[in-house]
Structure 1
Amino acid sequence: MTRQMHLTVQLISGYGLEPAAWRWPGIDPASFINADVFVKAAQTAERGRFDALFLADTPVLSTDVATAPPQQALEPIVTLTAVARETERIGLVATSSTTLNHPFTVARQFRALDLVSQGRAGWNAVTTSHPGALLNYGTGVPSRGERYERAHEFIAAVMALWGSWEDDALIMDKEAGRFADASRVTPVGLAGRHVASRGPLGLPPSEQGQPVVFQAGGGLNGLRLAGRFANAVYNNPFDIPSGVEHAAAVAQAASTYGRSPDHMTVFNGIITSVASTRKEALERREQLDALGDLETKVAYLGQQIGVPLSIEDIDKPVHQSLLENARANPADPRSPLALELAGEGLTVRRILAHGTMNYHPVALGTPDEVADILQRWHEAGVGKGFNINPDATDGLEHFVDEVIPILQERGLFRREYAGTTLRDHLGIPRQNGLPAGYGQHVGAAS
């Protein structure tokens, strides 16, 4: 039987992934403050049977608002609560920092979202190192080790607070006058080096017990955090070998903490650009590029391959005299692709259209070609799924209406949801409280 993939969708600020997508025809430039845009996107993704809508978040104004809208301006929990009321099955995943918040606040917010959505919430637990975000909260920049030590304590405290109501604590017997079994609602009394909370919460478990924990940090620290607590991981490989390596590392990390790798879903970031022909998909991306800062992109492309390039070169191939000395930048995993495309004689504009500047690899072309790319990555073992980033908002509809049916026909994606909760979609067991075998204290990053 073919192993089916899982899909989440990420919509940056309501526009799509490309920085200049706010200028794309048909897109409301006020999308970043319009909750209805996110509701419509979630409904479209739900129609396509996606696992979840994912809202990333960094609480800082990091764009130049003279030329670009703020990123992630709407607070994710507020936005997803609005989405929850207008959807029925799709999961709702939001980022919240373990560096900038308090465990009780996060536990309460996500438990409330989980209840409002009938068990569809997920928490993407991240550490924060952005200096601007830290300044917004009046704190200094902690070391990487301190951030992750706090994250271990923080997530453990949140899970303990979620488990402060046992599954059968709520009674609500009106005739007997018994609302809950108070003996099954208990304080957690946790205190670590970085965080502490007495508890209990004032909210019982949801249909899935508690929200699914996602994790998006990299390196050994991120793997330890994921292996100990998470059921889903967001990964950002630029090629198949690195994706396969990371998926294997996540599985090993889960096993190290006595948890089943089968209960871990690795989502790999992919940008999609779908059109009726490959040429049209590339032209679509060229048009999106042209709405943004092309001069900076061209200069950076030159850095990727080690040759001087300027905006005047945009519609020319990289000159042969420059190619003779061109080298891929070893610090940038996108550089080999840039060098390969330059060697094929493509114009600078067309090289950029292939996504050599993008944070994620780009799946572009016809619906069949995009499906082929996803299938190739999936069957290579990069994990169980993809975090789809449409280039612009309308790209989600193209993907749902044109690519999803192909994946379904190939047996690679579900035709119907198997259940009602996010845990049902991911095929992971119900959980209420800390992972089995964790212990009764807030742990460190050991």
Structure 2
Amino acid sequence: MGKNNMGQMHIIAQLSAGQGLEPGGWRWPGEDKAAFMNDDIFIKGAQLAEKGKLDGFFLVDVPAISADIATTPQGSSLDPIVLMALMAKATTHIGLISTMSTSIYEPYSIARTMRSLDLVSKGRMGWNVVTTGNPHALLNYFAGTPAHGEKHGRAQEVWEAVLRLWGSWPEGALKLDVASGHFADDKLIKPINFKGEYVSSKGPINLPPSPQGMPAVFTAGGGQYGYDFAATKADAMYGNPPTLEYAKAFWQQLSSSIRQAGRNPDEFTVFNGIGVSIASSEKEALERRIALDELGDPSSRQQYLSHMLSIPITGLDIDAPIPDRLLKLARPNRQDHRSQYAYDLAMKGFTIREVLAHGPINYHPVFLGTPESIADKLQQWFEAGTGKGFNIIGDTGLSSLADFVDQVVPILQKRGLLRTEYSGSTLREHLGLPYRNGFAEFEAKAPQATIK
């Protein structure tokens, strides 16, 4: 592909539990087998993302042990808030995005923690707003799990209370006048007296705004609730579309919701999750992924592929294509939108092992091949209209992120698809967002909560 004429894409890198997309990535030669508890790995990851002039570095938070802890550390991680503080001091420009769940944390805890990090990083923080559906995580904090409606109702209230808290100390209230002894204008710093059905906070917050005002607000999720929440309450959204066509439809529907909320879709970015496996040829990339599958649990992946294709394939020769007698009965499972891709791969005659290696059962689609071909696919998605952004996840860990930054990023930069230098210093500036501090700018567009 040639030069781009559509502006530049936004890219965030992700390194959760110190590793990449594949459960067996921690066993890959050269990776730190204890990366999940090594803060230096995360600091180096953020520095790599900054080296590539990416927009941000993202850490998820799963505060519960995973069911497959016997074979993978993917559910084990250091508290991302601790890591964010360390990364903020070791970098100067890269945006830093962390999850803090509305189901677990109280508004003041989120507001104060995120504002502290935003000040420490000089305006580079992003808050990923999510609800927690993992019952094990919820039971680590509470005696029971909330009903579906309560979870969403609480999320709305926490979001609003956090933004009101951020706005309770407005720009200009901090004076720092040594001569007069005037530290701050207390007439401008006011309580919020927020009282909702699920959460309350008196306020005000005890810290001033950062150079970007408040952290950029991210969210993740699908369905109409996810669209509406993103359209009215977020600056950016994480997506996990399995195919290009799905990604285009996702962005079209979200754009419509954003317009209906009275906002401009051009000021919003969807970061589509993309796994990458980089090698000197597509054949070598596929072999790399096959080797990674062997380091994980291929039998469980084969079982799930059986579920996706609606046919029994466990026990079949994994190094042979699915027999025609079964393939004729195969149907994509409508309950899993990744199933169509798995079905298409099976119909092309790939062996079961090769089908799995292409990544149809991964949470994100996988781009495998040479640096040039991966750059081509990213450009294709970008120019097709999928929301302008990507959340890149390597297949193993730090080494695969380094491969992306060192081999794919220069190609994208040469094509004019990525910046070669930062033009701003805050995350909001990286994303093309204006300075913002508080709830006021959303008031005309968001449902009102109870303020007493």
CA apart distance, 1:16: 1.0
Q: Does 1:348 align with 2:330?
A: no
Residue 404 of structure 2 aligns to a residue whose secondary structure is helix
Contact 1:190 1:441 in 2 (8 A): no
The 1-side partners of 2:430 and 2:89 are apart by: 19
**Aligned partner of 1:145 among 142, 145, 149:** 149
1:32 matched to which residue of 2?
A: 36
Q: 1:423 to 1:441 in 2, by over 3 A?
A: closer
TM-score of the pair, normalised by structure 1: 0.96
Q: Which amino acid aligns with 1:423?
A: R
The 2-side partners of 1:325 and 1:202 are apart by: 63
**Aligned partner of 1:82 among 86, 96, 101:** 86
1:62 matched to which residue of 2?
A: 66
1:387 matched to which residue of 2?
A: 391
The answer to which of 136-145 and 146-155 deviates more is 136-145
The 1-side partners of 2:342 and 2:419 are apart by: 35
Q: 1:289 to 1:440 in 2, by over 3 A?
A: closer
Unaligned ranges ≥5, structure 1: none
Deviation digits for residues 29-65 of structure 1 (CA, Å, limit 9, x no counterpart):
1111111100001111111111111111121112433
2:374 matched to which residue of 1?
A: 370
The 1-side partners of 2:446 and 2:368 are apart by: 48
**Aligned partner of 1:436 among 433, 438, 441:** 441
CA apart distance, 1:413: 1.2
The 1-side partners of 2:355 and 2:203 are apart by: 55
1:406 matched to which residue of 2?
A: 411
> Superposition pairs for residues 149-160 of structure 1, below 5 Å?
149-160=153-164
The answer to which of 267-276 and 305-314 deviates more is 305-314
Residue 65 of structure 1 aligns to a residue whose secondary structure is coil
2:317 matched to which residue of 1?
A: 313
Contact 1:42 1:90 in 2 (8 A): yes
> Superposition pairs for residues 153-232 of structure 1, below 5 Å?
153-232=157-236
1:359 matched to which residue of 2?
A: 363
**Aligned partner of 2:57 among 44, 53, 56:** 53
Contact 1:341 1:351 in 2 (8 A): yes
The 1-side partners of 2:370 and 2:377 are apart by: 11
Deviation digits for residues 373-416 of structure 1 (CA, Å, limit 9, x no counterpart):
11111111110100101111211111111111111111111111
CA apart distance, 1:98: 0.6
> Superposition pairs for residues 243-262 of structure 1, below 5 Å?
243-262=247-266
1:325 matched to which residue of 2?
A: 329
Q: 1:253 to 1:339 in 2, by over 3 A?
A: closer
- Runs of 4+ that moved beyond 4 A: 439-442
> Superposition pairs for residues 266-305 of structure 1, below 5 Å?
266-305=270-309
Q: Does 1:415 align with 2:448?
A: no
Unaligned ranges ≥5, structure 2: none
CA apart distance, 1:199: 0.6
Contact 1:127 1:217 in 2 (8 A): no
Contact 2:423 2:430 in 1 (8 A): yes
Deviation digits for residues 94-139 of structure 1 (CA, Å, limit 9, x no counterpart):
0111111100000000000000000000000001121111111114
The 1-side partners of 2:445 and 2:384 are apart by: 39
**Aligned partner of 1:129 among 107, 121, 133:** 133
Superposed CA RMSD in Å reads: 1.8
